[in-house]
């Protein structure tokens, strides 16, 4: 399954560059989780920008679902091409917030 997930991630990463939808900003496909029957795939994406730009990019990706699924079918030649669901991956933002909080926490003095 990991090889399938990685192959799907690679094809989708390359395909998002070709999308002409102005709603789609700078999108990075961070992970893909495919169901065992290969009928569904959760595609985790990271988007630079404001929360409004995140939502617009997700809507743009969802509207390009057919194109992306067809590209997957053409490049991977799978028995079933998974239906794609795009999910915002906010891991980088959460890590940045935790790092900022840790750096702002006062440290006990050595005295």
> Where does the chain have alpha helices with state H?
2-16, 51-63, 65-76, 91-104
The DSSP symbol for 106 reads P
pLDDT for res 96 = 77
Yes or no: say if 4 and 34 are a contact pair by the CB < 8 Å rule.
yes
Tell me: the pLDDT tens digits for 78-102?
888 899 999 998 877 777 778 888 8
- Domains along the chain with CATH numbers: 2-104 (3.30.300.20)
Q: What is the pLDDT of residue 109?
A: 63
| Structure confidence at residue 90 (pLDDT) | 81
| Least confident span in 24-28, 35-39, 71-75, 107-111 | 107-111
pTM for the structure as a whole = 0.80
Judged against a pLDDT cut of 50, whether residue 110 lies above it is answered with no
84, β-bridge pairs: 41
């Amino acid at each position: 399954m990991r090889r399938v997930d990685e192959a799907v991630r690679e094809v989708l990463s390359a395909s998002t560059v070709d999308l002409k939808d102005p709603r789609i900003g700078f999108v990075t496909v961070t992970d893909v989780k495919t169901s065992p029957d290969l009928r569904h795939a959760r595609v985790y994406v990271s988007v630079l920008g404001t929360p409004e730009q995140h939502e617009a990019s997700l809507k743009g990706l969802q509207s390009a679902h057919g194109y992306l699924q067809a590209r997957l079918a053409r490049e991977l030649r799978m028995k079933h091409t998974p239906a794609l669901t795009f999910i915002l991956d906010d891991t980088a933002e959460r890590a940045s917030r935790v790092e900022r909080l840790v750096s702002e926490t006062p440290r006990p003095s050595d005295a």
